[in-house]
Amino acid sequence: MKKYVIGNWKCNKTEDEAKNWLTEFAGRYHPAAGLEIIIAPSFLCLSGLSRHVKKLGLAGFSLAAQDISPFPKGSYTGAVAADMVKGMVDYVIVGHSERRRYFHETSQDVANKAREAVDTGLTPIICVDQPYAMSQLQAISDIDSKEMIIAYGPVDATMARSPESPAKAAETARSITRIQPGLPVVYGGSLEPYNVKEYLLIPELAGIFVGEASLDVHSFLAICEQAAL
């Protein structure tokens, strides 16, 4: 089974900062069989970074968009449609708890975004959180695709800056798999180099979803090195 380490940069890094991060990462990272590294920079960085990734020849490394529109291209001012980022990214994050909280996105909005991604040939990384994970999963139950990743992140753990226990994360992953069999599940929530190993060892998980710790290239390299073992 493929393993994933996903880094979400959120609203951070200029294009120059992102390229410097990527150059240093490429110089130190040793690709591992079966391990996919995914970084989600801002929309403004995607074009330049996609060219930079190709120039560096990074193996086992992909870019993701942090969001897309729930609509196709057309008269939707300010929106970025899935086919506008295709060619720059292979993945797209949808339904992050911050999008749900601050931008009032509903589970139906998230399902529409996931469907747009799938229809465009992109792999959606669909974020779900407690205590609403099961209802959020039901919203995507009619999307007929095995090319999706479920990213489980308990909001309470993130707010408290303390990860959920590995046992609880494994239990939730099993519950998710019962509803969405065959889809890889990754855990995210207050992960750092010093605590990530025990989550990488959980057999029910296909990897991890990292936020703040992905901004520092040395911290992220340390996480990737543990995932490669």
- Res 96 pLDDT > 80: yes
Q: Report CA Rg, the chain.
A: 16
Residue type for position 115: R
pLDDT at 150: 98
pLDDT at 162: 82
Cα gap 189→72, rounded to integer Å? 31
- Residues 182-194 have pLDDT tens digits of 999 999 999 999 9
Q: Which residues pair with 39 in a beta bridge?
A: 7, 63
When pLDDT is averaged across residues 99-108 and rounded to a whole number, the result is: 95
Query: Taking the CA of residue 2 as centre, how many other CA atoms within 13 Å lie in the half-sphere pointing to its CB?
Result: 15
pLDDT at 209: 98
- Residues 51-93 have pLDDT tens digits of 999 999 999 999 999 999 999 999 999 999 999 999 999 999 9
Cα gap 35→120, rounded to integer Å? 24
CATH of 3-227, one of 3.20.20.70, 1.25.40.10, 1.10.290.10, 3.60.15.10: 3.20.20.70
Phi and psi angles of residue 6, each rounded to the nearest 5 degrees, phi first: -110, 125
**Domain extents in the chain:** 3-227
pLDDT band at residue 160 using 50, 70 and 90 as cut-offs: low
| pTM summary value | 0.96
When pLDDT is averaged across residues 146-162 and rounded to a whole number, the result is: 85
Triad 130, 166, 212: Cα angle to 5°:
70
Q: Which residues pair with 64 in a beta bridge?
A: 91
